Every structure is written in structure tokens, then in C-alpha cells.
Amino acid sequence: MRLMIIGSLNGQISMAGKIAIGRGAKVTHAEDIDQAMGALRSGRGADLIMMDVRLNIASLIEQLKAERFAVPVVACGINSDAATAVRAIKAGAKEYIPLPPNAELIAAVLQAVTEENNTLIANDPSMKAVLHLADRIAPSDASVLITGESGTGKEVMSRYIHQKSKRSRGPFISINCAAIPENLLESELFGHEKGAFTGAVARRIGKFEEANGGTLLLDEISEMHPSLQAKLLRAIQERVIDRVGGTQPVKIDIRLIATSNRDLEACVKSGSFREDLYFRINVVNLQLPPLRGRPSDIVPLAQLFANKYSEQNGLPAKKISATAAEILKAHYWQGNVRELENTMHRAILMSQEEEIEPMAINLPGQKVTAIAKVAQAAQAAAEKAPAGDGPALVGRTVAHVERELILSTLDHCLGNRTHAANILGISIRTLRNKLKEYGEQEKAHG
């Protein structure tokens, strides 16, 4: 875990850094945004940025985006009010931390960034077999190809291998080959010199150099253009790279892991993927089963996610009811573990019982939307309750309860509509239409 701290805040933010170091993080400090960007360009990467709320957060977010640094930013402030926190979130910060720092809060933020890296459940025999092979090959420097459907946990497995390797104290650097335009991917991988192309405002270290001494994950390698595959092959074979616009080769020392959700052998036959590169990266192949192919892991994973989102939202931990568990086990899980996680995030927010009930499990294909189901369940529970228990719901329409749920969720997300829509299980377009409808209602009555 690499933490970059930007700003001073009278030493309070440095205290937060000391807490982070105590939790195992590697901390670097920058006085301002320019210094921080220079550090990132030079290869001193970060998994998380903590920044003085008085600095220009929006400007940093804009620069990170322009130079394609995918680093979450957390704002920090001394004795700041709720409005300050909201402004920071609207500017692009993922979270807001009040200072002086609380050790448990700092730990929770670090865990939120790294928790997926440490979560690997393998109770099912099909997954146990894969994990056994991963344990055997992790200490070596052999290249690994991890294949499987989207959402099966290929990056989680990659990080697991890194943590079990002799390079575990080194960096783990990942890059999604499918998410970066072809004309920029070479620079992202190998770096560039100042002026190498339009927009190259300074020398930038690429992912290969940033991963020196550690592990480089090439996620969805099958999406890489054949012309770039040749340069990648040279880097793997000769352990040297050339920065774009550079004149001297640069030596590298990495362990390579690649992932793909496509059949690479078929890609080789079709000519879209080089055969020699395929054999270079496929020294060991780990084939991850889809979630529906590891049924014994479904409920344990669901409970893990339920516990995670209960804690994140300050809600009491709940077990999954037997009936809800059967529903989860019977679902096809087209989106695999990622779909299960989103399902349990919604479920923990919508559950009205002591255990997570079937009504809180919103799955594709169901006729009633998630928000309507919760509204109906809440209203039904209130109608059955003894007099005096739940007067806020008795006599109210589903539409009224639905409105309150949407607005409360939006408030919980500090106005972040995308996050709120994801929690509610509806599209951002549906959420916008609902909010527009509520606004028109207020005008009509006001």
C-alpha cells in the first residue's frame, strides 16, 4: 500500500501518515500539487492520495485524469464542517477525513483501498485446486497467465500471487490494456521523454519501470494491438525497455502476470495475438472458475460482502437468512463475484429484518425494482406491527416511501448520483428522472 500525502495542516496530516506507516503503508510526502505530480511522473506511484482540503482538489483531479494517473484522492481538514466535506466530495475526492486523525478511521480508509487485495475465499473444490497451484508457483519468477470470465477475481488472484512471492515487499503495479487507447498504451507501459509527442510535458516513468523489483499485471492483455505486442515480447525476453522518444534502453526487473477473459489460443489462431508472446506469458496458466462453478463459495462470499457494507455504512452486521441463501445459490451469476458484491451492497441497505431476507435480494429478471420492493416490504412490515411501532410508514403510499428511500440514499452518498444509483439498483437515468419528478412536484406545490 503506497500512500502519498499532499499538504501540511500544521503537522496533523503528518500524524495521519505515521498512523498509516504503523498500518504497513509506504508513505511519501509532497508540499503541493506540482510536487505531487512530479513524484508521480518519476515513478514514485501511489495507491491513495491524502490531501489538505484547503488545496485545489479539483485541479489535482483534473491533472491526474489528463495524465492518466488512476489514484483515488481523500481530503483531510482540521475542524471542518459538513459543507467543507461535501465540497471536497463534489470536487472529486472519494472520502473526507477530519483531523486530528483517528487511528481507526485512517485504518478503515487504507483497508477500503486494499481490502479486495486481501480477500480470497476458496472453500469450493474447484477453487481450492486453483489456489493450490497458485501457492506452488508464487515463490518463482515464472510468468503467469490468469484466465476466466469477467468478474471472477483475476486481479485478486494476481495480488495473492504477488503477496506470496519473494517480491512481496516490492510494488504491485497493474494496468488495464483494454481501458487505454492504443496510441497511449505504449507510453503508459514504457514511459516517455519530455516532448516525445504532443502533451508530453515532462519525462514520465512507465509501468515497467514503476514495477521494478515487484510485479507487473497486464490486465486484459488480449486487447493489446499486435504492433505493441512485439515491443512487449522484447521487454519480456531481454528485460529492457525503450521509453517513447528515448535513446537509451532501460533495464527492468519484474515478475509478469497477465489476465484475459478471452480464449487466447483462439486469438492466436485468428492472428490477433502473437503466438510467441502467448508462449512467453503462459508459463503457468491459472483458469479461474465462474462463480456458478464454485457453488460452495457463493454464500461465504455473500456474507463477506454483507459484513463489509454493514461496517462501511454504520449498520448492524446481519447474517443471510436460509431462504435468501437459497436464492443466491440458485442464481446464474452472469457477472460473477462482481455481481454478487453489488447485490449484497444493495441488500444490506435494503434489509428490514434481523437477518437479510429474500425481499432484500434484488437480482436481474425480477419484475419489481429494488426500491419498490423495499418500499413494499417496509410498508407491509409497518402494517403488521403492533400499534405505535412504526407510525412513520403506516398509511403512506409506496411512492412516498420510495421517494424517501431515494433521497436518503442520495444524502448518504453526499449527492453522488452514480454511487446512489448503484446502491439502489437503478440506472443513473432512472435516478435523474425520479429527481426531476420530485423537483416538479415541489414546484407545483410550492
Give the span between the Cα atoms of 349 and 377, in whole angstroms.
13
> Please, what is the average pLDDT of the chain?
84
Q: Which domains does the chain have, with CATH numbers?
A: 2-116 (3.40.50.2300), 125-289 (3.40.50.300), 293-445 (1.10.8.60)
CB 406 within 8 A of CB 371: yes
3-state class (DSSP) for residue 80: coil
> How far, in Å, are 73, 280, 286, 409 from residue 431 at the CA level?
26, 47, 40, 11
3-state class (DSSP) for residue 418: helix
335 phi, psi to nearest 5 deg: -90, 5
**Who has greater pLDDT, 8 or 153?**
153
- Percentage with pLDDT > 70 across the chain: 87
CB 252 within 8 A of CB 212: yes
pLDDT given for residue 392 in this prediction: 53
- Written as one letter, the residue type at 14 is S
- Residue found by looking up cell 460473477 in the block: 336
Give the containing element (helix H, strand E) for 240: strand 240-241
Give the containing element (helix H, strand E) for 63: helix 57-66
**pTM score:** 0.69
pLDDT given for residue 382 in this prediction: 52
pLDDT digits (tens, 9 = 90+) for 173-209: 999 998 888 888 999 999 998 887 877 778 888 999 9
User: Does the pLDDT value for residue 385 go beyond 60?
Assistant: no
Give the containing element (helix H, strand E) for 30: strand 26-30
User: Does the pLDDT value for residue 127 go beyond 90?
Assistant: yes
Q: Which residues contact 181 (CB under 8 A, 6 or more apart)?
A: none
Q: Which residues contact 210 (CB under 8 A, 6 or more apart)?
A: 43, 45, 171, 173
pLDDT given for residue 194 in this prediction: 87
pLDDT digits (tens, 9 = 90+) for 333-372: 999 999 999 999 999 998 989 999 998 998 875 544 445 5
Give the span between the Cα atoms of 111 and 108, in whole angstroms.
5
User: Does the pLDDT value for residue 405 go beyond 70?
Assistant: yes
Give the span between the Cα atoms of 233 and 276, in whole angstroms.
8
Q: Which residues contact 274 (CB under 8 A, 6 or more apart)?
A: 226, 229, 230, 233, 268
Question: CA torsion sign, 121 to 123 to 127 to 132?
Answer: positive
3-state class (DSSP) for residue 161: helix
**Who has greater pLDDT, 223 or 418?**
223
Please state the rounded mean pLDDT for residues 225-244: 92
pLDDT digits (tens, 9 = 90+) for 164-182: 999 998 999 999 998 888 8
> How far, in Å, are 148, 306, 344, 379 from residue 152 at the CA level?
6, 18, 16, 37
266: exposed, middle or buried (C-beta count within 10 Å: 0-12, 13-18, 19+)? exposed
